[in-house]
A = this chain, B = another copy of it.
Amino acid sequence: MTSVFSPLRWESGVLFLIDQLRLPREELWIPCRDEVEVADAIRRMVVRGAPAIGCAAAFGVALAARRLVAQGAGSPAFEQGVRKAIDQLASTRPTAVNLFWALNEMRSACQGPPENAARALEERAMAIWKDDVDRCLKIGQAGAELIPDGATILTHCNAGALATGGYGTALGVIRAARDAGKRIRVLADETRPFLQGARLTAWELARDKIDVTLIPDVAAAWLMRNGQVSCVVVGADRIAANGDVANKIGTYPLALAAREHQVPFFVAAPFSTVDPSTPDGDAIPIEERQGGEVTQIAEIQIAPQGVAARNPAFDVTPARLVSAIVTEQGVYRPPYDFR
């Protein structure tokens, strides 16, 4: 994973996360030494993006196992401690299914006496991370075929290297299209309220010398209306069995505008984002975050003191608005059937 930028680093039993709250102003790496620090980083969105959350949570379990071994925990205490860590990490954020998928992987890797189990858990976390990057590279290759030469690609939020083990899903498709020699331009939705587009997508694309222009979320429909968008590529936090896609709030109105203007609307995500136990979008729990993320920007109060705010973090785009779903297993087209 040397050539691919990753938002995580694992160094002698410490997980370092690039602080995505501080980007693009500074590149600060936050050390996490146990599952509590990892859970806190996920909750505060130091690390965000469904696949990256899954990777970080896996290392959170590995850190818990290490700590338990260092404390000399016997088998029952060890297993109980690991289970508790898994529950704690599972309670951080409700919508992204990759988190639960990664924690399940870790649960099944917890085998044998504590020292062996701790080693196995660390190896499984490393594998989840490495596999995630491999998957992103494959998603990129599969998705690049959908991008015409000369395309202007609109993306929302950050489904990039920062949101994954590395390389990215939606931005992986964009990187792979560029690497295949296609001339492309990117329009990045700023993505209120958390500004992942302005802060993260613009940062990582500029860093990769990909032509990127920032737009307010509200401008996307108008640019489509004026023929200035060739296609939309976004990530996903959970995909229901019928193809309904939960993704960052603001994805759904983009999909409505894309349909209105016959702009292809693509979703790029690892196959683990598909949740066969979720029949459709109505069954996906949608996280509602604190209103303070809306009333303040960079700790500056923009709204009058005391005004109430709603802050749903995700929305659901119905499958009928999605032109294709790109996974490491290839490109799915409607009607969606992932079996």
Task: List the interface of chain A (C-beta within 8 A of B).
Answer: 24-25, 187, 190-193, 195, 198-199, 202-203, 206, 212-223, 225, 249-250, 252-253, 256-257, 260, 291, 294-295, 297-298, 300-312, 315-316
Instruction: Let me know if A303 and B192 touch, CB within 8 A.
Output: no
Known: A191-B218, A223-B312. 17 other contacts (CB 8 A): A190-B192, A198-B294, A198-B303, A199-B303, A202-B303, A206-B304, A206-B307, A214-B294, A215-B309, A216-B311, A217-B250, A221-B253, A221-B256, A221-B315, A222-B316, A253-B256, A298-B298
Complex interface: chain B residues within 8 A of A308 (CB): 212-214
CB nearest neighbor in B for A253: B221
- The smallest beta-carbon distance between A199 and chain B, in angstroms, is 6
Main secondary structure of the interface of A (DSSP, over half): mixed
Instruction: Let me know if A222 and B190 touch, CB within 8 A.
Output: no
Instruction: Let me know if B311 and A252 touch, CB within 8 A.
Output: no
CB nearest neighbor in B for A197: B303
> CB < 8 Å: which of B192, B199, B303 contacts A218?
B192
Q: A191-B218, A214-B310, A215-B294 are in contact. Are A225 and B315 (CB under 8 A)?
A: yes
> CB < 8 Å: which of B187, B214, B291 contacts A303?
B214
11 A–B contacts from the bound complex (CB under 8 Å) = A191-B218, A192-B218, A198-B302, A199-B302, A215-B310, A218-B250, A221-B253, A222-B252, A225-B252, A256-B256, A256-B260
CB nearest neighbor in B for A310: B215
Complex interface: chain B residues within 8 A of A219 (CB): 249-250, 310-312, 315
Complex interface: chain B residues within 8 A of A249 (CB): 216, 218-219, 222
Instruction: Let me know if B298 and A253 touch, CB within 8 A.
Output: no
Q: Which of A190, A297, A303, A305 has the most CB of B within 10 A?
A: A303
Kindly state the separation between the CA atoms of A195 and B257 in the bound complex, as whole angstroms.
Answer: 22
Instruction: Let me know if B215 and A217 touch, CB within 8 A.
Output: no
Instruction: Let me know if A213 and B253 touch, CB within 8 A.
Output: no
Top 3 closest A-B pairs, CB basis? A218-B250, A221-B253, A222-B315
CB nearest neighbor in B for A204: B304
Kindly state the separation between the CA atoms of A17 and B220 in the bound complex, as whole angstroms.
Answer: 33
